[in-house]
Amino acid sequence: MRKDADVVRDSVKDKVENYMNAFETLWKSSKKVFFTIFILSFIMILLTQITGFLSLISVLEDTNLNFFKVIGLQSAMNMIVYFLPTPGASGGIEGSFYIIYSGIVGKSRAAVSLLIWRIATYYSTIVIGGILILKRVKNKRG
């Protein structure tokens, strides 16, 4: 048991050191690239968080929903889901979304909003990625 813990600790230590080395290399090689990546990552995360808000207001007649409250809940939900003991967190994010927002907008609206949100943030990327891969394979063959 102790040996397994040592192996895991060493593996985590190696991964953290590799991350720090890559971070340092990127910082030293080009601060412009570093800040560009930082800004683009921030925008990507913000847009992902905003889709939850947009899906909620799309099912409400009264759009008196606090934007920052929803963004805060979305962020907390995304952090919590990483600790749910489900294979690949399957269903965890959906269940969290439904539980959190059904108390705010009602069960049926939360369910519809959940579908809109997952289509926008998850399924659409699968479809777009699939189309791009098929185009690439087709271009390589022909």
What's the pLDDT tens digit per position in 48-58? 889 999 999 99
Asked whether the predicted pLDDT for residue 13 surpasses 70, the reply is yes
Q: What residues have CB less than 8 Å from 50, skipping those under 6 apart? A: 71
pLDDT band at 88 (very low <50, low <70, confident <90, very high): low
**Would you give the DSSP letter of residue 142?**
-
- Locus of tokens 């606090």: 66
Sign of the alpha-carbon torsion through 77, 100, 52, 127: positive
Check if the beta carbon of residue 96 is closer than 8 Å to that of residue 75: no
Inter-residue contact 55 to 116 (CB < 8 Å): yes
Average pLDDT over residues 8-14: 90
What is the Cα gyration radius of the chain? 20
Tens digit of pLDDT for each residue in 118-132? 999 889 999 999 999
Does 21 score more than 70 pLDDT? yes
Where do the domains of the chain lie?
A: 2-141
Please give the share of the chain, as a percent, with pLDDT higher than 70.
Answer: 94
DSSP state of 89: G
C-alpha 11/C-alpha 17 separation (Å) is: 10
Eight-class DSSP state of 83: T
**pTM: predicted TM-score of the whole model, two decimal places:** 0.69
> Per-residue confidence at 83, pLDDT binned at 50, 70, 90?
confident
pLDDT given for residue 84 in this prediction: 74
**pLDDT surpassing 80 at residue 9:** yes
Rounded Cα distance, 3 and 11, in Å: 12
Q: What is the mean pLDDT of residues 29-36?
A: 88
Residue 79 is encoded by which pair of tokens?
Answer: 């952090």
Average pLDDT score, the chain: 88
Are the C-beta atoms of residues 53 and 74 closer than 8 Å to each other?
Answer: yes
Structure tokens at 91: 């269903």
